Amino acid sequence: MAIPIAESLKLGIADILMRKVRSIVTVIGIILGVMCIMVVLAIVNGMNKSTMSWMEERGGLSKIEVEQNWQYDFSKGGDPSFTLKEIRYLQSLLPEAEAFNPSVQEWEAIITKGDIRYSTSLRGVMPDFVKVEQWDIAKGRFIKDMDIDLHSNVVVVGSTVAKEFFGNSEPLGQIMSIGNQQFTVVGVMSERFMQSQGGQIGMGDNALEYLNQRCFIPISTMISKVNPISKISSIDIRAKSPEEAKELRRKVENIVLNLKNGKRLFQVTSAKEQMDTMQANAKIMEAIFILIAVISLLVGGIVIMNIMLASIRERTREIGVRIAVGARSRDIFLQFLVQTILITSLGGVLGILFGFAILDKVGSYLQIEVLASVQMIWVALLVSIGVGLIFGVGPAIRASRLDPVIALREE
């Protein structure tokens, strides 16, 4: 003949309504704790999303990069570059790679056409460049194998370069000068765009604008005609999937190491593994934030426990009366536990509402992307119920163990 939970709920709601002000004061700690959790989860969500999209924009998780190892001690000798022959050899050993593109970069190349002078980052690349970068051609064609073999003077320009030089007129087939060489424009890259986060100075709102300012020529032309002292020191490779990228990275690393007689002249990294590292770092951040939330919830819980204890002291006589008319220990226990949980859930709901309300403001204040999710609501609700459970049990046990004789004597 236990009284059902529904009765305890009704009792609890009636108690809360009767002591509105106290109930609100009681839950301030919980509200703050839950708001904290909401904000934390939204920040972590947002961080993960922007890391993801950054990675995607940079070529996805299947990308592997071979770059010069700047930590290498050059007193041991060695040349941190590849010849075209070595590149061809390396490529032949990696048939499983989806794409393979070495590149040579000339950071400050001057392009001229008539009166227009434009300083740009010029890249000597191979046809797979578009596959590695997952970057489409907007107009014309990209560099072909034939161009590599023939050391052709063809150039593919970024969208900003095309605008600067040709405005609205047709860029294809136009001639421009790079160094002392004449190049024919054969293609225009599509425009790359990503909303920039926060206020990186001088970047405008497109975090990828620097890509639109680049020009691409055959790698063979680059090292034979444009800049004979430039060397091939970086290769981008794309695996068929992020999972295969790890395996492929190890293989490339071994081949390069053999090619260079065991000297670690190059380092080979995979986006997938970098991403994993970044996410592990994000987890640490998350843990710290969660710790803050837990502390504020603990404080909130202790406040609630104290208020419940005071409330029970105040209601000792009522408890005595309830016991005298037949309430069992369990009934009294449930009455107070349910009441505590109701109060903390109320705090949880308010915390969720206020949390949503301040999310955007926090985001714009910290200049980071915040991302709300339904899962956050469940986490926040469960946590507030959990706090009620944890901190309600003690007072509820105390109430249920009251001696009715003493309780009834209480004034």
Partner 1 sequence: MDIIKTEDIVKDYILGKVKVRALNGVNLHIQKGEFVAIMGPSGSGKSTLMHILGCLDKPTAGEYYLDDILVSKMPKAALAAVRNRKIGFVFQSFNLLPHLNILKNVELPLMYGGMSRHKRLAKAREVLQNVGLGNRLKHKPNELSGGQRQRVAIARAIVNDPSILLADEPTGNLDSQSGGDILEIFKDLHSQGNTVIIVTHDQAIASRAERIIRIKDGKIVDGNSDS
CB of 319 to partner 1, least distance (A): 10
CB closer to partner 1, 58 vs 328: 328
Distance separating alpha carbons of residues 198 and 211, to the nearest angstrom? 19
CB of 330 to partner 1, least distance (A): 7
CB of 411 to partner 1, least distance (A): 9
Confirm if 392 and 308 have CB atoms less than 8 A apart: yes
Q: Closest Cα to residue 331, out of 396, 272, 388?
A: 396
Which SS3 state, helix, strand or coil, does residue 195 take? strand
What radius of gyration, in Å, describes the C-alpha atoms of the chain? Answer: 33
Q: Closest Cα to residue 196, out of 9, 100, 318, 54?
A: 54
CB closer to partner 1, 14 vs 366: 14
Residue 101: how many other CB atoms lie within 10 Å = 23
CB of 16 to partner 1, least distance (A): 12
One-letter amino acid at 132 equals: V
CB closer to partner 1, 1 vs 284: 1
CB closer to partner 1, 231 vs 317: 317
CB closer to partner 1, 325 vs 374: 325
CB closer to partner 1, 173 vs 326: 326
Residue 251: how many other CB atoms lie within 10 Å = 17
CB of 338 to partner 1, least distance (A): 14
CB closer to partner 1, 328 vs 398: 328
CB of 309 to partner 1, least distance (A): 19
CB of 288 to partner 1, least distance (A): 45
Classify strands 234-238 and 214-218 as parallel, antiparallel or unpaired.
Answer: unpaired
Residue 141: how many other CB atoms lie within 10 Å = 13
Give the interface with partner 1 as residue ranges (CB under 8 A): 1-3, 7, 14, 18, 317-318, 320-331, 404-405, 408
Confirm if 139 and 148 have CB atoms less than 8 A apart: no
Burial of 145 (0-12, 13-18, 19+ CB in 10 A): exposed
Classify strands 116-125 and 214-218 as parallel, antiparallel or unpaired.
Answer: parallel
CB of 326 to partner 1, least distance (A): 2
CB closer to partner 1, 2 vs 116: 2
119 φ, ψ (degrees, to nearest 5): -95, 125
Confirm if 384 and 392 have CB atoms less than 8 A apart: no
CB of 318 to partner 1, least distance (A): 5
One-letter amino acid at 133 equals: E
CB closer to partner 1, 155 vs 399: 399
Q: Which helix H or strand E contains 92, and what residues bound it?
A: helix 84-93
CB of 341 to partner 1, least distance (A): 20
CB closer to partner 1, 146 vs 406: 406
Q: State the distance between the two ends of the chain, measured CA to CA, in whole angstroms.
A: 30
Instruction: Measure Cα distances from 14 to 19, 73, 93, 297, 323 in Å.
Output: 9, 76, 77, 25, 19
CB closer to partner 1, 386 vs 404: 404
Structure tokens at 138: 């907007």
Instruction: Measure Cα distances from 257 to 105, 233, 243, 262 in Å.
Output: 23, 14, 23, 5
CB of 3 to partner 1, least distance (A): 6
